[in-house]
Amino acid sequence: MSEEEQKGKRNQLPRLNLDSKFWKTFLFVVAAFLIFAGPTYVVYVLMNVLDISYVFSMISGFALFIVGLVLLWYLIKNKVVS
């Protein structure tokens, strides 16, 4: 390998192997957790356990919900989930 090819290999970001059953399952479980637990349990923990304001708790729960939906959309778009 030439020096330029080695530099190019080092500068590449590692990509997820979506062919692996582990990554398919893991990302689907993370998406489900973000969609369902984000707006419920995370908001509860932020409000009652960590004593954070209601508004910030709701905003963070909504943000986690949106992240979960985007992740699920990504998985469906790439035909990881049918």
pLDDT in tens, 49-80: 888 888 999 999 899 999 999 999 988 888 87
The model's pLDDT over 1-31, given as tens digits with 9 standing for 90+, comes to 555 555 555 555 466 677 778 888 888 899 9
Does this model's pTM top 0.75? My answer is: no
Question: Which has more confidence, 74 or 81?
Answer: 74
How far is residue 19 CA from its own chain's centroid?
Answer: 17
Q: Note every long-range contact of 50-58, with CB atoms under 8 Å and residues 24 or more positions apart, other chains counting.
A: none
Q: Note every long-range contact of 21-27, with CB atoms under 8 Å and residues 24 or more positions apart, other chains counting.
A: 24/75, 24/80, 24/81, 27/71, 27/75, 27/80
